[in-house]
């Protein structure tokens, strides 16, 4: 007997009992983005490896340790996407979407990173991403933050905090980088192996270290704000002023640097203390140099991504209710003639009452068994067709919650009655 095949570690099944919550969360996101005039774009799950090396940066944990990379039959190096921004940038360049116009886009789907699975962090995970191209002011940064804030509001989430920072322009970051390298070189004995490796290649990532033994040296490091030029400071101040006008509370976190190389100026995260170490549920910022870096014409860009697993987990932690959609009715078919006409009646009812959630009993079963199925389904009503009803064109309607009297009506009248429950 062969061994039972199981799912890959860190890649989880989403079972039917959990689907309604996911659908509710995804539906809120879609409707919110539609209200703001953003359009959906869908990119391939697999991209050329070079795309991520060029965008994310070769000296990053994602590229060095976490990507699922393989060689296809043509000898090309391909990678399951570890994040969505690079693929979105590639798509807008390849399809000439940036010619003289701004683009407000969003996408949703699975991403892949070979990480150690833990609560809120999986090897296949899902993100909703939003990207805006061709707008350079702090007003669009503020709108993206407002969209994320409205999503929390629509979901009923109130246990999140907005953290903001500015990474400045490339020139400001280079000036800060030199100051930071000099500081950390003076404290090399306190740096771990990863930080020593990043000291020359990507010293800002040292500030993002979660190593508790390094927190004291990180806390005493020079802050980026002191290296920002006048335009950077003005952009950041205008962002904060706009957030104030929208009544969106925030904290300035000078150590917020983000994990990817392509960010500059505005960066932000929404964090919670209800999910342990994996407390970031949304992160984003400005990446004005990435389009040119990937091969397009220089274009300003800003975006954010929401981790759906963490967001769903947070909703469960807060015991938030959601619009779970149980069926309105269950069609019980008792008898050979009733079974033969039942599917036709069900289709007629669905056509007459758009949006009605109706389950038709399939696979036979006694009258008692079918009513047990109806109860388990959570339906409000049972529609009963026996051989007598089938012969006379009638349907019996029974309230499974006992709130109204049982009645037998013609098939033509069923739709009118069910429309009251829809």
183 is known to lie in a ligand binding site:
no
The region, left, alpha or beta by phi > 0 then psi within -120 to 50, assigned to residue 2 is beta
**299, 292 Cβ separation under 8 angstroms:** yes
**339, 364 Cβ separation under 8 angstroms:** yes
**67, 93 Cβ separation under 8 angstroms:** no
113 is known to lie in a ligand binding site:
yes
263 is known to lie in a ligand binding site:
yes
Helix, strand, coil proportions of the chain in percent (round to 5)? 40, 20, 35
Instruction: Write phi, then psi, for 308 (nearest 5 degrees).
Output: -70, -40
Q: At 102, is the secondary structure helix, strand, or coil?
A: coil
258 is known to lie in a ligand binding site:
yes
Spatial CB neighbours of 263, under 8 Å, sequence gap ≥ 6? 167, 257, 285, 286, 287
278 is known to lie in a ligand binding site:
no
Ranges assigned E (strand) in 18-100: 39-40, 46-48, 69-71, 77-80
Reading the block at residue 151, the tokens are: 């999503």
The DSSP secondary-structure symbol of 63 reads I
Cα 210 to Cα 188: distance, rounded to the nearest angstrom? 17
Q: At 398, is the secondary structure helix, strand, or coil?
A: strand
Provide the H-helix boundaries in 170-306. Answer: 170-185, 193-201, 215-219, 230-245, 290-294
68 is known to lie in a ligand binding site:
no
Strands 329-334, 358-360: pairing kind: parallel
**412, 351 Cβ separation under 8 angstroms:** no
Cα 77 to Cα 68: distance, rounded to the nearest angstrom? 11
406 is known to lie in a ligand binding site:
no
81 is known to lie in a ligand binding site:
no
Cα–Cα distances in angstroms (integers) from residue 186 to residues 91, 181, 192, 218, in the given order: 44, 9, 14, 12
Spatial CB neighbours of 177, under 8 Å, sequence gap ≥ 6? 203, 204
262 is known to lie in a ligand binding site:
yes
Annotated binding-site members for L-histidine: 83-85, 113, 127, 131, 258, 262-263
Binding site per annotation, positions = 83-85, 113, 127, 131, 258, 262-263
């Amino acid at each position: 007997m062969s061994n039972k095949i199981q799912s890959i570690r860190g890649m989880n099944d989403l079972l039917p009992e959990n689907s309604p919550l996911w659908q509710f969360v995804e539906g809120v996101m879609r409707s919110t983005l539609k209200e703001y005039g953003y359009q959906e774009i869908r990119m391939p799950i697999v991209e050329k490896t070079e795309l991520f090396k060029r965008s994310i940066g070769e000296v990053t944990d994602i590229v060095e340790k976490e990507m699922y990379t393989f060689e296809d039959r043509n000898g090309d190096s391909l990678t399951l996407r570890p994040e969505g921004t690079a693929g979105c940038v590639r798509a807008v360049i390849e399809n000439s979407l940036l010619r003289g116009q701004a683009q407000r886009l969003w996408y949703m789907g699975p991403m892949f990173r070979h990480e150690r699975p833990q609560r809120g962090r999986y090897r296949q995970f899902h993100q909703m991403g939003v990207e805006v191209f061709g707008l350079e002011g702090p007003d669009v940064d503020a709108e993206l933050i407002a969209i994320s804030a409205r999503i929390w509001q629509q979901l009923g989430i109130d246990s999140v905090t907005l953290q903001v920072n500015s990474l400045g322009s490339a020139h400001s970051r280079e000036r800060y980088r030199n100051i930071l390298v000099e500081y950390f070189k003076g404290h090399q004995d306190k740096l771990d192996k990863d930080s020593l490796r990043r000291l020359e290649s990507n010293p800002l990532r040292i500030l993002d270290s979660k190593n508790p033994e390094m927190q004291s040296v990180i806390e005493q490091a020079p802050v980026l704000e002191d290296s920002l030029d006048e335009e950077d400071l003005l952009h950041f101040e205008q962002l904060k002023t706009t957030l104030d006008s929208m009544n969106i509370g925030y904290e300035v976190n000078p150590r917020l640097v983000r994990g990817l190389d392509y960010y500059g100026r505005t960066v932000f995260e929404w964090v919670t203390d209800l999910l342990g170490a994996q407390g970031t549920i949304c992160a984003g910022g400005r990446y004005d140099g990435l389009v040119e870096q990937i091969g397009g014409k220089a274009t300003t860009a800003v975006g954010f991504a929401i981790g759906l697993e963490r967001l769903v987990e947070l909703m469960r932690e807060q015991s938030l209710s959601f619009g779970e959609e149980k069926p309105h009715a269950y069609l019980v078919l008792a008898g050979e003639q009733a079974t033969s006409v039942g599917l036709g009646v069900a289709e007629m009812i669905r056509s007459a009452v758009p949006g009605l959630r109706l389950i038709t009993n399939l696979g036979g079963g006694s009258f008692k068994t079918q009513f047990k199925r109806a109860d388990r389904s959570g339906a409000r009503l049972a529609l009963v067709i026996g051989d007598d009803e089938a012969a006379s064109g009638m349907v019996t309607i029974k309230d499974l919650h006992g709130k109204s009297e049982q009645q037998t009506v013609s098939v033509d009248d069923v739709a009118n009655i069910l429309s009251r429950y829809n």
